[in-house]
Structure 1
Amino acid sequence: MTEDCLFCKIVSGEIPSYRVYEDEAVYAFLDINPASEGHTLVAPKKHFNSFTDLGAEDIAALFEAAKKVTLALEKAFSANGMNIGVNNGEVAGQEVPHVHVHVIPRKKGDGGRGIKSIVWTEPDTANLEGMAEKIRKAF
């Protein structure tokens, strides 16, 4: 736990929340500024600033819980779909520096859009092989 982290305080119970799911590794609660009815945040109980700080076991626990939350939200709200995503870093919209997955129920005709509506810079696609090679070399 990081003592100045909002989500660490929520996980510990220091700040109240609307918990929807909890297990030994993960705590899921309603977003108090939701994008749709049932918008839930799924966060590891351990503090991690960045998604890339998570180990394989932490990622597995986080996304297994996100799947459970998704299934519950589909049932609870008769959702036609879900947006499931992670904002990683302030420039990407991460408002709280504690890793969390957004699970946002969607209904047909709700006016929302898909993940590509977050950013659309229209990069040059003339050299996709060069782009792929650059990424492969980064591993």
Structure 2
Amino acid sequence: MLTSAAADCPFCQIIHLDDPDVREVYRDDQVVAFFPLEPATLGHTLVVPRQHVPDIWSLDEETASRLARVTVRLANVMRRSLQPEGLNVIQSNGKVATQTVLHLHVHLVPRWTGDAVGRIWPPETNYSDNQKDAAWEKLRAACREGMAR
């Protein structure tokens, strides 16, 4: 039985229902991988935990470990079978980061010269050294306090 959050989640519906229209490429007891409805490139695959997890901040380390292992294995399978020139591994959290489905997912996007994706980083930024130092010190201090959840 699905929780109310999972019942409204399109990825949970894919995970828990037998949908013949889903182009599933992999499934185990913790992770499912499938093509999105509108792939950025041919072979674009989503890797999702079977458990409903909305974002990386809600992810437990055991699920994260399995998700990472499957992501690496699928990246290698993708390289052998599709022979892309490159690969983007993208995981977004929150609306501002372009997360549109609130179920944690990792995009494996095979890349070729001239594909439709284009650049994913700005060509340059204009952060001052003071801004970079302030962010660095905040993060470094937080790490010193401990990496615990």
Fold conserved between structures, TM > 0.5: yes
- Indicate if the aligned counterparts of 1:38 and 1:104 stay in contact, CA closer than 8 A: yes
Shift of 1:91: 1.4
- Indicate if the aligned counterparts of 2:40 and 2:117 stay in contact, CA closer than 8 A: no
Distance across 1 between alignment mates of 2:18 and 2:112: 34
Shift of 1:121: 8.0
Matched residue, 2:102:
97
Residues 1:56 and 2:61 are matched in the alignment: yes
Shift of 1:62: 0.7
Distance across 2 between alignment mates of 1:22 and 1:114: 31
Q: Counterparts in 2 of 1:8-87, with a 5 A limit?
A: 8-16=12-20, 17-87=22-92
TM-score, normalised relative to structure 2: 0.82
Partner letter of residue 132 of structure 1?
W
Partner letter of residue 128 of structure 2?
T
Shift of 1:47: 0.4
Higher mean C-alpha deviation, range 20-29 or range 70-79:
70-79
Partner letter of residue 125 of structure 1?
S
Q: Secondary structure at the match of 2:129?
A: coil
Distance across 1 between alignment mates of 2:9 and 2:116: 33
Classify 1:10/1:122 alpha carbon distance in 2 versus 1 (closer, same or farther; 3 Å): same
Q: Secondary structure at the match of 1:83?
A: strand
Percentage of matched positions with identical amino acids: 34
Shift of 1:14: 4.8
Q: How many residues align?
A: 137
Distance across 2 between alignment mates of 1:59 and 1:115: 24
Classify 1:52/1:83 alpha carbon distance in 2 versus 1 (closer, same or farther; 3 Å): same
Q: Secondary structure at the match of 1:116?
A: coil
Partner letter of residue 135 of structure 1?
L
Distance across 2 between alignment mates of 1:131 and 1:80: 34
| Aligned-pair Cα RMSD in Å | 1.9
